[in-house]
Every structure is written in structure tokens, then in C-alpha cells.
């Protein structure tokens, strides 16, 4: 059992929200790929609204792209930790970064498959 000192209840929730916003700001400031994906977000939202015929279709279209943003955040976190540990080349560092990149790629493939499935195979 882990005993971590710190805030509880609503204070913990408020702190967690502040940390999350701080993380989003850092990703937007330092990660070009994340910025590009965020700039596409309004276009994706409009297209998802326009192309979906049901709430479920909208959730699939928009949610699959939202997953790309989440994957990009995971990838950025992995890269930051690896770079914090050291900038020298090491096979495990490269492997960790490659796996983080693969997470993003798989999310993008899922998005494409979802959009094709919802819009073409009705």
C-alpha cells in the first residue's frame, strides 16, 4: 500500500487539474506535432459533426482523433523522461522513443480506419 502525503478530496482534484493544464501548455509550447494536431482539432470537430448521422458516429469520429492527441501526450512524456535521463545515445532510449512514436502511429491508423468505417461502410 502506498502512502503518499498530499492533498485529498476537492483540493487534490483542483491540484490535478492545474497539473494537467500545465502539461497541456507544455506540450503545446514544446511539441510541434502536438501543436499541429491541436490546430487540426476544429476542422476535425466540424467534419465529425457534418459527417456523423448519430451520436455514436460522432463519438467514434471525434473520439478516434482525440485518442491521437492523447497518444501524442504519452509520446511527449516518454521523450521528456528519456531526454532527462541523458542525451547520449543508448539502445533502450531509442527503443523507448520508438515505442512512443508507435503509439501515435497506431492511434492515427485507428482514426483513419474509424473514419473510413463510419463514412464509407454505412
pTM for the model? 0.90
Residue in 32, 57, 72, 88 annotated catalytic: 72
pLDDT grade for 117, boundaries at 50, 70 and 90:
very high
Whether 79 sits among the annotated catalytic residues: the reply is: no
Could you report the per-residue pLDDT of 34-65, keeping only the tens digit for each? Answer: 999 999 999 999 999 999 999 999 999 999 99
> Quick one: three-class SS letters along the chain?
CCCCCCCCHHHHHHHHHHHHHHHHHHHHHHCHHHHHHHHHHHHHHHHHHHHCCCHHHHHHHHHHHHHHHHHHHHHHHHHHHHHHHCCCCCHHHHHHHHHHHHHHHHHHHHHHHHHHHHHHCC
Could you report the per-residue pLDDT of 18-29, keeping only the tens digit for each? Answer: 999 999 999 999
Structural domains of the chain sorted by starting position, each given as residue range(s) with its CATH number in brackets: 54-122 (1.10.287.3610)
Amino acid at each position: 500500500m502506498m502512502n503518499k502525503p498530499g492533498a485529498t478530496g476537492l483540493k487534490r482534484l483542483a491540484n490535478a487539474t492545474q497539473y494537467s493544464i500545465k502539461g497541456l501548455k507544455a506540450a503545446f509550447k514544446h511539441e510541434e506535432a502536438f501543436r499541429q494536431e491541436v490546430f487540426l482539432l476544429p476542422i476535425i470537430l466540424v467534419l465529425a459533426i457534418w459527417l456523423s448521422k448519430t451520436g455514436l458516429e460522432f463519438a467514434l469520429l471525434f473520439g478516434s482523433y482525440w485518442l491521437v492527441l492523447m497518444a501524442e501526450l504519452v509520446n511527449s512524456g516518454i521523450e521528456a523522461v528519456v531526454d532527462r535521463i541523458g542525451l547520449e545515445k543508448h539502445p533502450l532510449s531509442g527503443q523507448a522513443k520508438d515505442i512512443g512514436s508507435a503509439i501515435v502511429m497506431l492511434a492515427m491508423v485507428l482514426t483513419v480506419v474509424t473514419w473510413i468505417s463510419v463514412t464509407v461502410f454505412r
